[in-house]
Amino acid sequence: MLYKVFIDDSGQKKYKNPCSKDFIENPPVFKEYENFWRDNYFVLCGVRVKQDELGAINKSINKLKNYYFKTHKVEVKSDWLRNPHKRKKNYLEKFDITSEKLNKFGEKFIDIISENKEKLKIVAVVFDKRYYGDAKRKKEEGSPLLKTTQLIFERIQYAGGYHILVFDQMESSLKVTVGQHNKIINIFQKNAGMDKIFVDKYDRISDIKFMQSCEENFLQVADVRAYNIYRQFVEFGRDWCGKNQKDGKVFMETYSYFDRIRCNFLFNLTKKQARGVGLTCVPDGEKVNWDILDGCFSNKKTP
């Protein structure tokens, strides 16, 4: 079976906050230090789709774009959909569309993702910068982008089938021999600069490519998904399951759009668990088992 995995990121690739154990033991409160948490987390997100199912989903996305924008040549970016200035520049004025219609488009775009939960699978890694000291930050192992890339490769290796990976372009050139592109290829070929993990050779990855997201609908899907996951961790931290109660029942705190895509995560078929398969946060010492798949295996909605 051949799959394509479309990969994009959300959050800051670089470090902004100093290293301090106090940030781990006594983390700042989100409502008072929102910028700290925005700078702390980085997410790399892959969208895994069977090669023979790409066409039908792509057609649905283009149909949606044509309905709202009168053209399918529209780039969907989470930042453009949210930022008032970028909304106006890239959508409202450019396509003569109202804010209300743009909001409806965004909702429908998420609907396509959630409605295809069996076909559009998420493989994502979240990087928590607080746990990386000054020495490690200077190495490849402490690079948010490179460490999450290595772990995405590892998850894909164990997912079954063969894969072509398509990354959103990170350099001015699409060449694989420059900048971050070259470092990603070096991880793929020999885990260059990284600590050893459980995979010596990624023989389930057939090829790695880089593309501009404006030319690929599924990179745009990856962009939106990456942001939804990023917001979940920024707002609720890494331990957002099982600590809150309502009417005597434990409930999971979720960012609303994360809740709508949570059934898309790749999971362990035996345990029906997404942690460590479709969703990982590094470092993963406590192995928190986020109960994100509750209600995903039936037609009934979770109370």
Question: Which tops the pLDDT comparison, 7 or 284?
Answer: 7
Angle at 228 between CA 222 and CA 230, to 5 degrees: 100
Tokens of 162: 């063969």
Q: Calculate mean pLDDT across residues 29-35.
A: 88
pLDDT for residue 62 is more than 90 = yes
Q: Is residue 146 part of a domain?
A: yes
Give the pLDDT score at 243.
56
Q: Decide if pLDDT at 55 tops 90.
A: yes
Please report whether residue 289 resides in a domain.
no
pLDDT at residue number 75: 98
Domain count, the chain: 1
Partners of 280 in beta bridges = 125
Examine the pLDDT at 246 and tell me if it is beyond 90: no
- Cα–Cα distance measured from residue 58 to residue 204, given in angstroms and rounded to the nearest whole number: 24
Average pLDDT, the chain: 92
Q: Is residue 53 part of a domain?
A: yes
In terms of pLDDT, which residue wins out, 278 or 297?
Answer: 278
Q: What is the dihedral of CA 214, 218, 224, 230, to 10 degrees?
A: -120
What local confidence, expressed as pLDDT, does residue 19 receive?
A: 86
Q: Stretch 165-171: mean pLDDT, rounded?
A: 96
* In the predicted structure, residue 285 carries a pLDDT above the cut 80: no
Output DSSP code: residue 18: P
Do residues 209 and 166 touch, judged by C-beta distance below 8 A?
A: yes
Q: Per-residue confidence at 303, pLDDT binned at 50, 70, 90?
A: very low
Mean pLDDT over 155-167 rounds to 96
Range of the domain at 25: 2-282
Answer whether residue 76 shows pLDDT above 70.
yes
In a domain, 65, yes or no: yes
Q: What is the mean pLDDT of residues 252-259?
A: 89
Task: Report the pLDDT value the prediction gives residue 198, as an integer from 0 to 100.
Answer: 83
The per-residue pLDDT for 6 is 98
231 confidence band (pLDDT: 50, 70, 90):
very high
Tokens, residue 238: 């890494």
Greater confidence, 246 or 74?
74
178 has a pLDDT exceeding 70:
yes
**Complete DSSP assignment for 106-127:** HHHHHHHHHHTTTTSEEEEEEE
Asked whether residue 200 carries a pLDDT value surpassing 90, the answer given is: no
Is residue 152 one of the residues assigned to a domain? yes
Whole-number pLDDT of residue 302: 38
Indicate the range of 8-12, 65-69, 95-99, 134-138 predicted with least confidence.
Answer: 134-138
Query: Do residues 191 and 157 lie in contact, with contact meaning Cβ atoms separated by under 8 Å?
Result: no
**122 domain-assigned:** yes
Res 250 pLDDT > 80: no
User: Is residue 302 situated within a structural domain?
Assistant: no
For residue 297, is it within any domain? no
- pLDDT attached to residue 242: 53
